[in-house]
Structure 1
C-alpha cells in the first residue's frame, strides 16, 4: 500500500502539516488577541502595515546569507526555534488596564455614575441596551474624604471594620488608611443610559476579606468619587477606553505592552518569512528538476494542517474560556509550541543541508524600465486594490465578528465560529478556486478575472455590513473563492504574461512587493483607522464602495490602453501575444505565497 511513498519526502510533508497547523491559528487570531489586550484598531492596523514590509526585507536578506554560506538547513531550524519563542511570548503580554472616574451614589439604592464629555458612540450605546449578563464585577477604588463616608459604609452596608475606624481614630488618622477597595457586583440588565452618562445599579459589594455586603442605603446616603476598572466586562471596558480617548487624547500613545507586542510580532513574522522561503527551496531541491511538478502534493499538507488546526483551536478556545467574553487563548499557544517542537525534530531529519544557487528577483534594478509599461502600471494598480481588500479580510474580519456579536450565545462560541470561517475559506473557498483558476482565466481572460475579484470583494464587504448575525458569514465565506481564491493565480500568471523580455523574475518579485508591501499594508492601516472612528458597518461599506471605485479606475485605464492601441505587438513585445495560463506549479506556488502572507 505504501510501497510507492518516497521516504525522503515524508519529513517535508510532515513539516508543512505541522508548521502551518502550528502558526495558522496564531496568525488568524492575532488581531483579536491584540484587541483583547486593549490595542485600538489603528494600532493593530499599524502593526499589519509594518509586518509585510519586515517579511519582504527578511526573505532576500537571510536567503542570500544562506546561499552564500550554504547554511540552509541550519537557518531553517534556527528560525523555526526563533519564531516559536516569539509566538509563545505573546501569551504572557498583559492587558492594558483601563480605568475611569466614576461617582458612587447611595440614596436608598446604590448606583455608579459613569459619564463622558461627549455622548457614547452608537455601537456602545446599542450594546448597553442589549446586554443582559447577570452577576458581573468591576473593581472600585474610592477616595476617603470625610468621616461621613465611613459612617455611611458602616451604617448602611454594615461593614464593621469602618465602624471600628470611626470609633478609634480621627479623620486625619483615617485618611492614612488610604482608599476603600472593593468589587461592585451588578446585573447589566439594570443599566440606565442617560444622555452622556450610564447609571449602573450596584447590588452587592465584595471586600478583600471575601465578605459580601448588600449595597443598599436604608439609614443614610452618600456620594463619593472612585476609580473604576472593568477588564472582565467588555462593553464597560470599551466605554472606559472611549472616555479616556475623549478626555485624554494622549492616552492613545504607545504603551510598553504594545511595544512588546509589536516587536514580538515583527520577530515572529521575520522567522515565518525565512522558514517558508527556505522550506520551499528545500522542498524543490528534494524533488529535483524532473519532479518539480509534485511540489503541490507536498504543500497541500500545509493546507490540510492549516484548516484542521484552525477549526480545532477555535473550538478549544471557546471550551477553555467557559463562556466568558474574555477569551482564554492559552491552548492555542501550547498547541503551537508542541506542534513546532515536533516540526523542529522532524526538520533535523531532512537530508539536504545546502541547495543549488538560485536567482533572487532583482526588483530594484529593473523598476525604471518596467515603470514605462502602461499595462504593468495598470496591473500594479489592481494589485494594490486587491491587496487592500485582502488586508481587511485577513486582519479585521474576526475583529468585526466580535464587534457585532451581541448576545451571549454568539459570544460563547465566537472562536468556534471564527475557526469554522477559516475552514470554510480554506476548504470550500480557496482550494477549489485555486484548482479551477486555469480554466476560468482561459475562458474569461485575465482582465475580466481581475475585475471579478474586485467586484466580488465589493459584494462581500457590503454583505458583511448588512448582517448582524456573524454565523451568517459562514455562507458569505463561499465568496472567498471568487475573490481571494482567484486572486493569487491570476497575479502570478498575468505577471508572467506582461513581463518584458528578461524581467520575469523581477515582475514576480514586484508583484509580491506591491501586493503585500503597499496593498495589504495600506489596507490594514486604513481599515484600523476607520474601525476606530466609524466602526465596522461603516468601514466595510466604505471598502465596498472603494473596491467599486478602484475597479472603475482599472477599467478606465484598460479602455485608455486599448484606445491608445497599447497592444503587445504595437509595443514591440511579441512575447505577449501568447497566452499564459496558470499550470499546477503556478497554482501551488501561488498558494505557497498566499499561506506565507497569511
Structure 2
C-alpha cells in the first residue's frame, strides 16, 4: 500500500513520541519557508526535525513521565471526556422516545432530530473562527459546555400536554401507546363515540403542533450555542498532549466511550423501571444535569503542554500570523488533499447516521427486545475503547489514507452483515466493528485536522472537520437514508450502502495514487488539464453529431 507524503509526515509525527529527542525544535508542525500551501504540506526530509520539541536533556524525563500509569497533567482531559459523555449517555439515546412521550409524531420527531446536524454544520466552524480571531477559545469552550447542559435541561421542562397525559394513562413507556377503555370514557362524560374521537383528535393535533414548535426552537437555539463543545474539547486535548504526544489522543478520547457506555446502560436501567413515565424522564434529566455540570469544573483545569511551544516556534508562528486571517482560513480549502479528506469523512458520516437511525428499527422487526438494543450500545463502546487506545500506533503505521481505506471497508463489512442478518443477537458481534468505523476514523480526523491547520487556526480546523462529520454528513445521511429505507427496504438499503462504501474506498485510493504520482513528477498537472480539455472537446463534437 503506497502512502502519500502527508501520510509519511503524520506517521513520522506519531512515531516520534516513542523516541528520545536529539535536537532543538527547528520549527512547528507543517511550517516551512515558502508559500502557505507549502506550509500545509512540509517536506519529508524536514519532518523528523520539525516534530521534535524538546532537547535531548529533557528526553529521559519525558520518557519517565510517559511510563507513569496516571499522568496528572492529562487527568482533567480524561475527566472531561468521561464526565461529559457519561451525562450525555444518560439522556441522548432516549431523546427520541422522550419526544414521542411528549406527543410528537414520527415525522415531527425526525424534523426535530434533523435540525441538530444542519445547525451544527454552520455553528461549529463559525465559533471556531470567532475563538481563533479573538483569542478566546477557552471561554467559548466553557460557555458552550454550559449551554449544552442548560438547553438540554430545558427540554426536560417541556412535558406532555394534558391531552397527551390522558392518552398515556396506563401506558407502556417503551411503546408509549394508548391503553384505556373507550367505554369508560364514554360513561364518564356521556358523549357519543364520534364526538369524543373528534374532540380528542383536534386537541391532540393542537398539542402536537405546540410541543413540536417549542422543541424545534429550543433544539435549534441550543445546538447553535453549544455546537463547538466537543470540537473545542478535542482542540484542548491536543494542546494538553503537546507536539510530542499527539499520537496519544485516542488514549484520552477512549474515556468518553467508557462514559457513554456506562451512561447508556444506567439510563436504560432507569427508563425500564416501574415508575411512571414522567418520573423516569425527570430522573434522567436530573442525572444528566448533575453529572455533566462537573465537566465544566474539569474544563478549567485543562492546561496546554509545555512542549506545545518553543521560542523558535513562537517566532515563526508570529511571522505566519502576519497573513490576513481570511487568507489563512482560505488556505485550508485550497489544498486538494484536504478537500478529498473532508469528502471522505462526509461520506463516512452518512454511513454512520444510517446505522444510528435505522438499525434499531431493523432489529425490532427481527424480534429484538429492549435488552438486546441496550447491549448493542454497550458492545459499540466495547469496540471503541481498545481501538482508541491503539489508534496512534495504527495511524503511525499506515498513515491517514490507509485508515480511511480500512474504515470504508469496515463499513462495507458491517452493511453486508446487517443485510443477511436473521438472528438479531448476532448483531452484538457486528457492533464491535464500530471501534474501527468510528473510533479509528475520529482519531485520525482529529490528528489530521491539527496537522494541516495553519498557524492560529487550530480550533477552526478542528471545527471544520467536526462540522463536516457531525453536521453536514449526518444531516445529509439522515435524509437520504430515510428516503432509501422507505423506497427500497432495510436489506436493499444496507447492500446499497455496502456497494457505496467499496466504491468510496476505490475512489479515495485512486485520488491518493494520483496525487502521489503528481508529487513524484510522474504526472504533471498541466498534462491532466490538457487531457480534460481534449475530453471536453470530444464530448462537444459528439453532442454536435461529429465523431472526429
Q: Tell me the TM-score range normalised by the shorter chain.
A: 0.5 to 0.7
Instruction: Tell me what 1:236 maps to.
Output: none
174, 182, 185: which one pairs with 2:184? Answer: 182
Instruction: Tell me what 1:121 maps to.
Output: none
Cα pair 1:363 1:507 within 8 Å, conserved: no
Counterpart-to-counterpart distance in 1, 2:398 and 2:298: 44
Correspondence list, 1:325-336, <5 A: 328-336=280-288
Instruction: Tell me what 1:421 maps to.
Output: 376
Cα pair 1:182 1:206 within 8 Å, conserved: yes
Counterpart-to-counterpart distance in 2, 1:400 and 1:449: 29
Counterpart-to-counterpart distance in 2, 1:253 and 1:524: 26
85, 88, 98: which one pairs with 1:23? Answer: 88
Q: More displaced, 340-349 or 386-395?
A: 340-349
Correspondence list, 1:30-429, <5 A: 30-37=95-102, 39=104, 43-63=108-128, 65-66=130-131, 74-95=139-160, 137-138=179-180, 140=182, 182-183=184-185, 207=188, 225=194, 227-228=196-197, 255-283=209-237, 297-320=251-274, 328-345=280-297, 365-366=330-331, 369-370=334-335, 373=336, 378-401=340-363, 403-404=364-365, 411=369, 414=370, 416-427=371-382, 429=383
Q: 1:404 Cα deviation (Å)?
A: 2.6
Tell me, which stretches of 5 or more residues in structure 1 are unaligned?
100-132, 141-180, 184-204, 210-222, 232-239, 245-250, 574-598
Q: 1:348 Cα deviation (Å)?
A: 5.9
Cα pair 1:417 1:471 within 8 Å, conserved: yes
Tell me, which stretches of 5 or more residues in structure 2 are unaligned?
1-67, 165-174, 526-548
Counterpart-to-counterpart distance in 1, 2:248 and 2:440: 21
Q: 1:474 Cα deviation (Å)?
A: 2.0
Q: 1:425 Cα deviation (Å)?
A: 0.8
TM-score (norm 2): 0.61
Check 1:258–1:396 CA distance in 2 against 1; reply closer, same or farther (3 A cut).
farther
Q: 1:334 Cα deviation (Å)?
A: 1.5
Check 1:379–1:560 CA distance in 2 against 1; reply closer, same or farther (3 A cut).
closer
Check 1:294–1:486 CA distance in 2 against 1; reply closer, same or farther (3 A cut).
closer
RMSD: 5.1
Counterpart-to-counterpart distance in 2, 1:139 and 1:368: 62
Per residue, is there more helix in 1 or in 2?
2
Corresponding position: 1:464 with 2:418: yes
Counterpart-to-counterpart distance in 2, 1:319 and 1:471: 23
Counterpart-to-counterpart distance in 2, 1:557 and 1:40: 40
TM-score (norm 1): 0.56
Corresponding position: 1:544 with 2:495: yes
Counterpart-to-counterpart distance in 2, 1:271 and 1:281: 18
Q: 1:23 Cα deviation (Å)?
A: 1.6
Check 1:97–1:546 CA distance in 2 against 1; reply closer, same or farther (3 A cut).
farther
Q: Secondary structure at the residue paired with 1:182? A: helix
Q: 1:468 Cα deviation (Å)?
A: 6.2
Per residue, is there more strand in 1 or in 2?
1
Counterpart-to-counterpart distance in 2, 1:266 and 1:367: 28
Deviations 1:27-63 (A, max 9, x none): 3333343455454555555445442343344344444
Q: More displaced, 286-295 or 273-282?
A: 286-295
Check 1:38–1:566 CA distance in 2 against 1; reply closer, same or farther (3 A cut).
farther
Cα pair 1:496 1:504 within 8 Å, conserved: no
Counterpart-to-counterpart distance in 1, 2:85 and 2:141: 15
Correspondence list, 1:494-533, <5 A: 511-530=465-484, 533=486
Deviations 1:364-403 (A, max 9, x none): 6237633xx4x666544433321110122334434554x5
Check 1:541–1:458 CA distance in 2 against 1; reply closer, same or farther (3 A cut).
farther
Counterpart-to-counterpart distance in 2, 1:447 and 1:32: 38
Larger Rg: 1 or 2? 1
